[in-house]
Structure 1
């Protein structure tokens, strides 16, 4: 079969997207009161106007304790008017709107949230310098219902797609990890047991929204913890279970861990000093010491997650969204030729929100993103490309 044109319309579940490009979920740092702001709306309006088919709003927590800090949206009735303004704005630019539904679990900041961080077991929650509270079976059932309620709020607020966060050792992802899930009940031990929570959450969301929205999962392939953590073989088996259940329209493979190895998701130069300076007190001091071990260096190259994702591509037949190092027409074509149905873009759109339109007009267009990762620490103030903002010199001299 010929390689699809990345700029041709494509089906994702009940949706028709104007092309195969999706703005991936990257926390915008634009919700200081945990509600939609004009800054958040403009962030996504600009991306939607720049040519992607769908812009994903992150991070939409399903519960207040599920935020990485209290300056994040959590899905409740109070948030709906602002969310409707946001989705209406994205739609006015011809794009669709997606909400990333998630619970941070041990990545949550319990001090900021003023609520205990949660996990499958009692494991470290470093953002709050604490240990998680282990969910019991009643808690798990209640959390599944919480995801279902959040999905309803999102769809009633105008979102066309729902991305269920099963990556980066957030709560659902933690249950998948043999390193972090130390349970001995029906939610721990074997892979089928460790995948039970993820499958129940996905089923609950699909049951709630039916064909009112596309539903996909951001699924970890590898958390960067070596042989003790989640690996690609287990990830392929989880994907097969999710495919057999029949509740998802797609999977977006991801990698890395906000707890154990965050740079495996991003690749490129780790901004160690800038990350430490984004915090104060004990956290800053700890990061300065631990940064060389925690923020590791992985060489950047285009489509850097493709080798792992191809393993998952071979395990399932359902649509897949390739994430990681998609910056130009060549990387788009490479992904689609490898059997992926959509591509997700992140950092390159922070640098140039209109990059898709420019690539469509001229396929030789090169991204001006230099993969310096200086955008990463800006999530604590207002997510942006410091080069585009004029805060640091452009190494390309443009």
Structure 2
């Protein structure tokens, strides 16, 4: 049993966090011109003031075609002044700032980005109603350089941590997937080959930033695609490879696929009608038909990813960050007692940004998040909790 206190200071690589609570990466929907806005700054300032040790900015694409749509930030010189204001605001509240670095790959909307979506093979890119362009070896070498450049920009803008997105069938995750990676060269086939790109990116980022920032990977444990996809045995083997490389300070296990099974990450009620209504034209019509198959229902319970994550915990000794259903002091302690070093919170902080401070003051405090997932479709306008904003009735109002 762990004797760790969720609210005690903890070391993550070269950085000391004031406690073991991290605001996980949840796209904020607050960057209409792909640049930092006052709204984005306030989003993270409020969370930082609410008591987390680190707030993760998502999504920071490493290249323009790596965005899920053109409204997301991509790391370039033009974005740097705003990013510096953002990290300054987080630091002013006593928290650290992290940037999620990633490339959306086939999850990118090529129509919105006006650039071809990329992938390990020619596979569907449904957001742009297209197929991806297969990256050749020279492209992959250049992509590692692109990740390095993005990491340098982030650190120069004051970010204390870098999360490399290796989940949800974004680009790196696609290379890991035996279902989506159909290559027959040294980047495809065996698991070691499929993990090569992830390892090269992570090595490149660490070489670029050294000990200027903590570096961790968000790594899929299961993409929800059944036996043909990426599963926990693969994830444990990849985690062991990453641990042996020695470039990461931690791994944040995740699950689900933005292409194949997004609700496996979230659990709880699938907001099918609301999700479809966030789109227009053929996408709206298609989602209304496909929603029961695409947005599946998984019962919510606290620490719902813990059963899978325990297997990853047993496979490696390096620090792990538990994500998924951490909402109160009891779930925080459950994670620490299971051998996890940090916990990540998402939806609960949309409902109550000050929840960590309230829990610290009173361990009996419980989250008011009802796991309705109505926040999910708001990423296309401005990410928020519709219950908190009064847009829908609060089912706990009478409690």
Q: Could you say whether these structures have the same fold, taking a TM-score greater than 0.5 normalized by the shorter chain as the test?
A: yes
Q: Distance in 1 between matches of 2:383 and 2:231?
A: 30
Name 1:335's counterpart in structure 2: 335
Tell me the number of residue pairs that the alignment of Structure 1 and Structure 2 aligns. 398
Match of 2:132 in 1: 132
Question: C-alpha deviations, 1:202-241, integer Å up to 9, x for none?
Answer: 0000000000000000000000000000000000000000
1:318 equivalent in alignment to 2:302: no
- Identify the residue that residue 290 of structure 2 maps to in structure 1: 290
Which residue does 1:305 correspond to in 2?
A: 305
1:2 and 1:226 map into 2 onto residues whose CA distance is 34
Counterpart mapping for 1:1-398 below 5 A: 2-397=2-397
- Counterparts of 2:2 and 2:252 in 1: how far apart (Å)? 22
| Cα offsets for 1:263-307 (capped at 9, x unmatched) | 000000000000000000000000000000000000000000000
In structure 1, C-alpha distance between the alignment counterparts of 2:233 and 2:64, rounded to whole Å: 33
Cα deviation digits, residues 18-77 of structure 1 (max 9, x gap)? 000000000000000000000000000000000000000000000000000000000000
Give the CA deviation at 1:333.
Answer: 0.2
Deviation at 1:371, TM superposition (A): 0.2
Distance in 2 of aligned mates of 1:197 and 1:377: 31
Q: Distance in 2 between matches of 1:366 and 1:228?
A: 39
Q: Which runs of 4+ in 1 moved over 2 A?
A: none
- Tell me, what secondary structure is at the counterpart of 2:217? strand
1:3 shift after superposition: 2.4
SS of the residue 1:163 aligns to: strand
1:344 Cα deviation from its structure 2 partner: 0.1
Distance in 1, matches of 2:143 and 2:15, equals 28
Structure 2 Cα separation of the partners of residues 376 and 336 of structure 1: 28
Q: Is the 2:2–2:338 contact (alpha carbons within 8 Å) kept by the matching residues of 1?
A: no
**Alpha-carbon distance in structure 1 between the residues aligned to 2:135 and 2:3:** 46
Q: Deviations over 1:156-203 (max 9, x none)?
A: 000000000000000000000000000000000000000000000000
State the distance in 2 between where 1:9 and 1:366 align: 22
The DSSP-based 3-state class of the residue aligned with 2:223 is coil
Cα deviation per residue 1:81-136 (whole Å; 9 max; x = unaligned)? 00000000000000000000000000000000000000000000000000000000
For the 8 Å contact 2:272–2:295, the answer to whether it is kept is: yes
Alpha-carbon separation, structure 2, partners of 1:132 and 1:282: 20
Compute the displacement of 1:2 (Å).
3.6
Aligned equivalents of 1:205, 1:223: Cα separation in 2: 25
Question: SS in structure 2 opposite 1:75?
Answer: coil
Give, in whole Å, the separation in 1 of the partners of 2:330 and 2:231: 28
Supply the distance in 1 between the matched residues of 2:148 and 2:184 (Cα, whole angstroms): 26
C-alpha distance in 1, partners of 2:33/2:133? 26
Give the TM-score of the pair, scaled to structure 2.
Answer: 0.99
Unmatched runs of 5 consecutive residues or more in structure 2:
none
Distance 1:280 1:349 in 2: 29
Say which SS state the counterpart of residue 307 (structure 1) adopts: helix
TM-superposed deviation, 1:397? 1.1
What are the Cα deviations for residues 282-338 of structure 1, in whole angstroms up to 9, with x where unaligned?
Answer: 000000000000000000000000000000000000000000000000000000000
Query: SS where residue 16 of structure 2 aligns?
Result: strand
Alpha-carbon distance between aligned partners in 2 of 1:241 and 1:186, rounded to the nearest angstrom: 16
Name the CA distance, whole Å, in 2 between partners of 1:135 and 1:327: 40
Ranges in structure 1 where 5+ consecutive residues have no aligned partner: none
